[in-house]
Amino acid sequence: SCVGFRQSHAKNALSKNLVKMMSKAVDALKSDKKVRTVVFRSEVPGIFCAGADLKERAKMHSSEVSSFVSRARATINELANLPVPTIAAIDGTALGGGLELALACDIRVAASSAKMGLVETKLAIIPGAGGTQRLPRTIGVSLAKELIFSARIVDGEEAKSIGLISHVVEQNEAGDAAYRRALALAREFLPQGPVAMRVAKLAINQGMEVRICTFHGSRPEVKLATTIPTKDRIEGLLAFKEKRPPRYKGE
C-alpha cells in the first residue's frame, strides 16, 4: 500500500489538515489485514515534507500549539506502531517534523539530492514528534546530538554514510527514484509469511526498549509461539519440501 502526501501550496508542511489526513490514513491501514507493506511518499516534486507549517503556527495561540504538537506526535507514533513494515521514500526535502515522520518508518530510502535535518533549534525549539528519541536510536547518541545542536542539513549521500537512511539512489527525470527503490524493497518483503512479518516487527520494536537479559527471559519465546500454530508455517514447510514458492495467506 502507498500513502502519498500532496499539499503543494505549502510544501507538504505539517498543517492541521495534513496531520488530520495522515491520522485517517494510518487508522485505515492499521485495521486492513490485506496490507502487507506501506510506502510513504510525497506527490509534490522535490519535497518529502518541509516540517511544521510555520505560517499556520504563527497564527496559533501558545495553548493551541501544544495541543497541535501532541496530535502530530500521536499520529507519528501511530505510524511507527503500524503492524506491517513501513518504508519512507524521500525524493526531496525532509526537515523537522518531515524527518521525524520518516524516522518513524522502519526503513528510509532517499535520493542523493534529498535534503534532511532536524532544524528545530534554529527556531529556538526542539524536535517535538519523536526526533530526540528516534534519531539517537538510528544513528547513535553523539551524532544525533551534533545534528540537532547544529540544525545541520545533510544530503542523501551523507545520510547514507551516517546510517540515517538504508539506501541512496541517484534521482531520475521523473523525480521518483527513491519511491521506485522503496517499491523494489517492498516486493522483497511480499513473499514472506504475513503473520511472521508482523510478529517479527513487534519483537524487534519491543526488544529495542528493554535490556537484552530481560527480553531473553520470555518475550521471544512468546512471539515465536504465536507463529507456530499458523497455517502459513505448515505451508512454508510443505513448500520447502516440494521445492516450490510458498503461498501464504496470513493465517
Cell numbers 506501506 correspond to 38
Report how far residue 165's alpha carbon sits from residue 138's, in angstroms, rounded to the nearest whole number: 9
> Is residue 158 among the annotated active site residues?
no
Catalytic annotation, pick one of 94, 100, 111, 129: 100
Local structure of 205: helix, strand or coil: helix
In this structure, the number of other CB atoms found within 10 A of the CB of residue 55 comes to: 10
> Is residue 146 among the annotated active site residues?
no
Catalytic annotation, pick one of 51, 92, 96, 97: 97
C-alpha cell at 171: 534521482
Q: At what angle do helices 131-139 and 141-150 cross, to 10 degrees?
A: 130
Catalytic annotation, pick one of 110, 120, 128, 196: 120
> Is residue 100 among the annotated active site residues?
yes
In whole angstroms, how far apart are CA 111 and each of 60, 85, 86? Answer: 34, 20, 18
E strands of 58-174, at which residues? 86-90, 93-95, 107-111, 115-117, 154-155, 167-169
Nearest to 42 by CA among 12, 17, 66, 22: 12
C-alpha cell at 161: 554514510
Catalytic annotation, pick one of 52, 111, 178, 182: 52
Sorted by sequence, the CB contacts under 8 Å of residue 239 that are 6+ apart come out as: 245, 246, 247
Residues marked as catalytic:
52, 97, 100, 120
